[in-house]
Amino acid sequence: MPETTPSTAHQFETLSQQRDADIAGMWIFLATEVMFFGGLIMCYTFARYSYPQVFEAASHRLYVGYGGTNTAILLCSSFTMALAVRAAQMGDRKWLLRLLMATIGLGLAFLTVKGFEYHTDYVEHLVPRLDFRWEGGESPHAELFFWLYFTLTGLHALHVTIGICVLGTMAILAGRGRIGEIPVEIAGLYWHFVDIVWVFLFPLLYLVGHRS
Amino acid sequence: MKNGVPSSRAYVGTFVALMALLGITIMAGYIDLGVLNLPIAMAISLAKTLLIILFFMHVWHGSRLTWVIAGAGFFWLMLLLVLAMTDYRTRTPVAPMPASHVQLP
Amino acid sequence: MNPVLDTPASTAPQEGEPPENYLTEHTVISWLLTTDHKRIGILYLLSILVYFAIAAVAAAMMRIELLWPDGRLVLPETYNKLFTIHGVLMVWFFLIPSIPAVLGNFVIPLMIGARDVAFPKLNLLSWYLFMFGGVLVVYSVIVGGVDTGWTFYTPYSTTYANPNVVTMVAGVFVAGFGSILTGLNFIITIHKMRAPGLTWFRLPLFIWSMYSTSLILVLATPVLAITLLAITVERIWGIGIFDPNLGGDPVLFQHMFWFYSHPAVYIMILPGMGVVSELITCFSRKKIFGYNFIAFSSIAIAVVGFMVWGHHMFVSSQSIYAGMVFSILSFIVAVPSAIKVFNWTATLYKGSVSFETPMLYALGFIGLFTIGGLTGLFLAALAVDVHLHDTYFVVAHFHYIMVGGMVMGFMGGLHYWWPKITGRMYPEMAGRVAALVTFVGFNLTFFPLFLLGYLGQPRRYHSYPPEFQVFHVLSTAGASILGVGYLMPLIYLLWSLRHGKKAPANPWGATGLEWQTPSPPPRDNFETIPEVNGEPYDYPPLEQRTVEPI
């Protein structure tokens, strides 16, 4: 039984109009995010096209263990998020709360793994401008790869963090029984998008060329 | 779908498919496919993306507007990449590219 | 056409008191925390005026400097800072917000029979982001200025220019998010909040233009944001994505910058075209010719406009083959604009044309935009562009479109909807005189620049060979006349707020839902949401028209 009856904002005539507008609005926002990340992908495309060998060598310095684990974590979190939205739609407050917490937990796990990974990268002198060392010539080009790696994954991690904050707020409201279905659905769309970005980043950054 | 709410079975199926595709992605990263490594990796990512969009993000049962918006974002990114790469792919250098002589601090 | 609105007894105004409208509440807080799209439109109007004034002062200083071939007023570095701040403020803080954020915000919900935009709080956030960005930009000028040009080309901006670049670029970055949110708001509003019966092909053409503009806003601006971020990163940490010494490519910057900035010019003209469509029909008292063509042309301009950016880069060392592709596409993108010009002209044919101030601006737009647009084709031709690139010809071309086109469209729209916004009529004779003065001043300012460019004077130079002086003197003379033309509306529009004739709901006898609510409108726009069951621009045919005195 839903415990909240969402009210219609004054500019809308009906609740379903509001729902449609909110969801379409989030989709437009996601389209803008595609273009935002897309600009960096343009830089990546140029750099990889220009320096294919160095890119491959640099990519192989990243650990598939970290990247693969993180991809699996995010895919799981998308699963729990989709189920959370379903729980909200069915008015199941208990499961909504549990699934939101699960998604948040997986998000935090992602960030934790990322943190360990960044530390490893730093220790191995792969952070541009911070005691960066590259054997094998074309050091500035390798540095370009790592700049793209840190900027892309850093921007992505920022989006994950924002998502966690939003979901956290929703979990608190859900705990008090004061959240409707629409905000959860919209947050879900955002979260899935963040997952999709990583689904592309993983092969682009970790699996350039082939590893032996 | 019952009362507009998708069954959890669709979600489970999608999740299993996604994890399987992840496995294939990683395996393909260890096989020498030459120039095909990139297109295959991108195709698998695209497949994962479609699964997430269609099922987790409800576009399969969604309105035409969401289809259009989702497609538009992707199309516009392709415009940027494809048209800009027409420049890079058709440049004819007049001299060989010099190696970098920059000494980094 | 003026419906009598029943006000419930409890809120009925006292004898002689004006009815409550969106302007009634007048505390400062009610303005600064408003979510009313009408008030937000006015907030934008006031802010863009301030930014316009600063940019205009910069322009005046440039034009005075250019009176003498050897440049005596300012140092060369200062001249560079002047054209930079002029460009940055005019593009991002005047032209891009002008019609969309001012007139669009005010008029769109009224035109489609809605009570507000889809996301009113995001709307207010947009304005604050805009203001914060503008403050950063102005601050960067106060602390010394930036001399890279509004285009921030690398490697100068990333390696050699002064550090204020970062602040200025940050300001544009922040303001950009404001415009993304505005575009998002408009798209959803137009999709989801139209009145019953208002199908897509019954919408006023202003809405089609604003929709197309919003598509560009949401899809192009994020790429600008990333590009500006990349400049900042390169500046601060020296990563060389745009630096050839470190494996980067300065032309990559240009690709990313112009991927946004070319569609941006369509952000800056499509709304003006939308206004002109409204004005031409109203003041010809005739249904617009070729509604569907104009509607689809707006979308076509928005879409194809994303495919032509390389025409800014013909001589940048971009591949000649890419240049050919961009050149052909640039010719193609001119076609929908030309279609619009033909259709507006055809609308005038056999119309009862009257020459109120908004119509004068609309007619000026058509003529000057045509000249500006045609000269764009000169520049789209690869071989001709080699000669004309980075000369005054380009400067004249875009000022004809931006000032002769868009600013005139803005002025026309502002006068047209002024009665609706303020409840007052502006003085008609003063309006017409100002429009004519503007037209004369504009042409005198910018036509000589075509000749200068053709003769070879590069742009962004503060000194020049003496034989060019006559053109510069003519241009500066024109600029002073143009200044008068802009000052006049500032004065009489302010005057009209107190002393202008009170405006009825529909002073122009125009079609459109915005004219079916009082001037100024109540807070929630309509007493009851109207229902639409007729075609747009439903003016009576020629035989049935009566001539109305102004």
The predicted pLDDT at position C10 comes to: 39
Triad C46, C50, C51: Cα angle to 5°:
120
Instruction: Check pLDDT > 90 for residue B18.
Output: yes
Triad C146, C152, C157: Cα angle to 5°:
70
Q: What is the mean pLDDT of residues A17-25?
A: 94
- Give the closest residue to C269 by CA, choosing from C89, C437, C100, C135: C100
Pick from B8, B72, B84: which is nearest to A42 by CB?
B84
Domain that holds residue A139: 20-206
- Euclidean distance between CA atoms C283 and C353, whole angstroms: 6
- Euclidean distance between CA atoms A192 and A204, whole angstroms: 19
Q: Dihedral angle at the C-alpha atoms of C96, C99, C104, C106, nearest 10 degrees?
A: 120
How many Å lie between the alpha carbon of C214 and the closest alpha carbon of chain A? 11
How many Å lie between the alpha carbon of B102 and the closest alpha carbon of chain A? 8
The predicted pLDDT at position C20 comes to: 83
Pick from A9, A35, A147: which is nearest to C222 by CB?
A35
Instruction: With residue C532 as reference, give the H or E element that holds it.
Output: none
Please answer yes or no on whether C310 and B87 come within 8 Å at the CB atom: yes
Chain B touched by A28 (CB under 8 Å): yes
Which tokens hold the place of A31?
Answer: 């389209």
Find the radius of gyration of the CA atoms of chain C: 23
- Euclidean distance between CA atoms C342 and C340, whole angstroms: 5
Which tokens hold the place of C537?
Answer: 């621009």
- Count of structural domains within chain C: 1
Are B11 and A83 contacting, i.e. CB atoms less than 8 angstroms apart?
A: yes
The predicted pLDDT at position C539 comes to: 87
Find the radius of gyration of the CA atoms of chain A: 20
Flag residues of chain C having pLDDT under 50. Answer: 1-15, 549-550
Q: What is the mean pLDDT of residues A52-72?
A: 94
Q: What is the separation, in whole angstroms, between the first and last Cα of chain A?
A: 55
Residue C6 lies in a domain: no
Interface residue ranges in chain A relative to chain C, Cβ cutoff 8 Å = 9-13, 17, 20-21, 24-25, 28-29, 31-33, 35-40, 42-43, 46-47, 50-51, 128-129, 138, 140-141, 143-144, 147, 151
Residue C246 lies in a domain: yes
Residue C548 lies in a domain: no
The predicted pLDDT at position C5 comes to: 37
Which tokens hold the place of C405?
Answer: 């086109």
Can you list the alpha helix ranges (DSSP code H) found in B1-105? 8-28, 37-51, 64-89
Q: Which residue has the higher pLDDT, B84 or A4?
A: B84
- Give the closest residue to A160 by CA, choosing from A83, A81, A85: A81
Residue C547 lies in a domain: no
Please answer yes or no on whether C246 and B80 come within 8 Å at the CB atom: no
Instruction: Collect all residues of chain A within an 8 Å Cβ-Cβ radius of residue C247.
Output: 47, 50-51, 138, 140-141, 144
The predicted pLDDT at position B105 comes to: 53
pLDDT category of residue B103 using cuts at 50, 70 and 90: low
Chain B touched by C306 (CB under 8 Å): yes
Q: Which residue has the higher pLDDT, B64 or C479?
A: C479
Which tokens hold the place of C447?
Answer: 């036509």
The predicted pLDDT at position B98 comes to: 64
Segment C366-375, tens digit of pLDDT: 999 999 999 9
Instruction: Check pLDDT > 60 for residue A173.
Output: yes
Kindly state the DSSP code that residue C346 receives in the 8-state scheme.
H
Are B88 and A46 contacting, i.e. CB atoms less than 8 angstroms apart?
A: yes
Alpha carbon C205 to its chain centroid, in Å, reads 16
Triad C240, C243, C249: Cα angle to 5°:
105
Residue C340 lies in a domain: yes
Segment C54-97, tens digit of pLDDT: 999 999 999 999 999 998 889 999 999 999 999 999 999 999 99
User: By mean pLDDT, which of A95-99, A159-163, A200-204, B29-33 is the weakest?
Assistant: B29-33
Pick from C218, C227, C240: which is nearest to A39 by CB?
C227
Residue C165 lies in a domain: yes
Total residue length of chain B: 105
The predicted pLDDT at position A74 comes to: 97
Domain that holds residue C442: 40-536
Which tokens hold the place of A16?
Answer: 């379903």
Residues 85-104 of A with CB under 8 A from B: 86, 89-90
Residue C9 lies in a domain: no
- Euclidean distance between CA atoms C102 and C43, whole angstroms: 8
Neighbours of chain B (3+ CB pairs under 8 A): A, C
Residue C541 lies in a domain: no
The predicted pLDDT at position C534 comes to: 87
Pick from B72, B91, B102: which is nearest to C245 by CB?
B102
Please give the C-alpha separations between residue C329 and each of A36, C154, C325, C388, in angstroms, as whole numbers.
25, 26, 6, 19
Please answer yes or no on whether A144 and C239 come within 8 Å at the CB atom: yes
Instruction: Collect all residues of chain C within an 8 Å Cβ-Cβ radius of residue B87.
Output: 251, 255, 310, 318-319, 322
- Euclidean distance between CA atoms C530 and C535, whole angstroms: 14
Chain C residue with minimum CA distance to B77 = C219
Q: Please give the ipTM for the structure prediction.
A: 0.93
Instruction: Collect all residues of chain C within an 8 Å Cβ-Cβ radius of residue B66.
Output: none
Instruction: Collect all residues of chain A within an 8 Å Cβ-Cβ radius of residue C531.
Output: none
The predicted pLDDT at position C538 comes to: 87
Pick from B22, B33, B42: which is nearest to A75 by CB?
B22
- Count of structural domains within chain B: 1
Domain that holds residue B70: 8-89
How many Å lie between the alpha carbon of C319 and the closest alpha carbon of chain B? 5
Pick from B65, B80, B102: which is nearest to C259 by CB?
B80
**What CATH number has the domain bearing residue C175?**
1.20.210.10
C424 — phi, psi (to 5°)?
-125, 150
Neighbours of chain A (3+ CB pairs under 8 A): B, C
